[in-house]
Structure 1
Amino acid sequence: MRQVWRLMMLVATVMCAGVAARADDVQQAAVDQSFEAVKTAAAAAGLTEVIQIDHARLAAAEGVTMPPARVQLFSDPALNAVVLSDNIRAGLDLPFRVLSFDDRGTSALSYTSSAFLAQRHGLTTASALVDFDDRLNEVLSQLTVTSPRAVSTKGVEPDFAVLEIKSKYGVDVSVERLKQAVTAQSDTIWFGDIDFQAEAASQNVTLRPARLLLFGGPAPGGVAMAEFPAIGLDAFCQKLLVYEGEDGNAVLIFNDIAALARLRYGRSIEPHDLLNQRLFATFRGAVE
């Protein structure tokens, strides 16, 4: 009788695992479908693809399980130049980005609106904000698979969730030292960087030096996103903006992961604080 009971339990366990695996496959397929729909719509709108990152698959390759989540960044250099002319710090939230992710079994899309940029960075150029949403809506209005939703702006004030470090070096030297520090970490992937000053020059717009560095850690990022997949819009790919300050030395700004988790979920966990501490230590060690 015990052997029969054990056999029944084994069969039930295998069946439950099979059901869970099929559910995971369905959720991943739904996220992939919405991701591809965004990618197609962005291309149709004439936006330039910058990077795409598959959070869950990268994390899985490092042995970390998290819900399906994929982010993509696409750009309009002319619009970027106008926004950055208003406030260079807005580069932390550029270029356009959309996150496709599984939200408790439902495929979801998240994006950052001009309202978020305006409140976080004190933007005042109304025409640029209108153009920002118009260009983004060219993409989002084409989507039929999943209804996109903007990140909440409730409680977002100037410099909300922005962490800052002042460098003792100029922008170029700071970027090189930061890249060396980041790539020296065995669990981190370097995705690239965007030279906003050069991009603006191509549009006949003069900007102070400013570069956006893009990198991420699949394993620690996957742990931090396991219960909080929506934060993948702003983290892992981690964004670090390095721009020229008033004294000629670089200023570094980056996202407070714990604060962004609280914005989206009303709470944060220890891994978010630990990642903030790790980023601070890495960046300060490179530029101070």
Structure 2
Amino acid sequence: MIGWLFFCFHGSSFNVVYHPLLRTKDCEMEFVKAILLGLLQGATEFLPVSSSGHLVLAEAFFHIQEASMAFDVALHMGTLLAILVYFRKEFLALFRAMLRPDRSDETVCANQHLALLLFVATIPAAVLGKLFGDQIEANLRQPAVVASTLAGLGLILLWAEKIGRRGRSFHELTLVDAIIIGLAQACALVPGVSRSGITMTVGLFRNLDRPTAARFSFLMSAPIVAGAGLLHLVKIIKEGFPPGQEAFFLYGFLASAISGYLFIAFLMRYIQTRSFAVFAYYRIVLAGVVVWTMFR
């Protein structure tokens, strides 16, 4: 699926907006390419393969140019919707627990504890992103960095699969887990690392079972994606929304939301009986392709 999307990009010579959107005379092709970018975002945001890394590679090797922030926000809002819809029961339970602080109800207490863990896990990425996000974006958004982080985390993920005991369930998450996994999430500011990849990997090192590592990773991503999206949305409102592009953003948003939901569902089913190894090998192979392309 991901490889097919890259093939489509290569044959199209994209010319885009922040998250790329082609400006051509053929309006239908613009819609098609907006949808393809939404599909790519939805697929790579939740699989441990790095969405930002794939888009950096698309920019570098398929002649995609950066442009407006608005399309980027639209795609990320699509993936946020996918998270909220797929985990709607969990988020509703968290919301109710915060409104009804009944200490005598074990379920309410468990959800309040989870809300605390998610809050703590969000802090490192939020703070470091605010302080260093722009510098990282300006200096590290390049193929050599992406190749290194793709391969590096691929090897670390294989190591985590080998040594992690995977004996702890979702209800055994602790404050220490939240702090460590939250710090790991901050590392995903570097292109190619993969937010889901690094948090799931550290979850395995913390001896969480695979579904628990993935579930906590997805839940903790919602505040970060929502917060970043709102900050960018404020900038867009101040600068003015790009005229005449509303339909393209809507298509990208919907494609990102639908594909994101499907890939969350796929991964949660897949890891019930299988390991993350295939994604680790994919990262390593893709890193090799990047290096080969750089020096050919």
TM-score, normalised with respect to structure 2 = 0.24
More helix by share: 2
For CA contacts below 8 A with separation 6 or more, give which structure has more relative contact order: 2
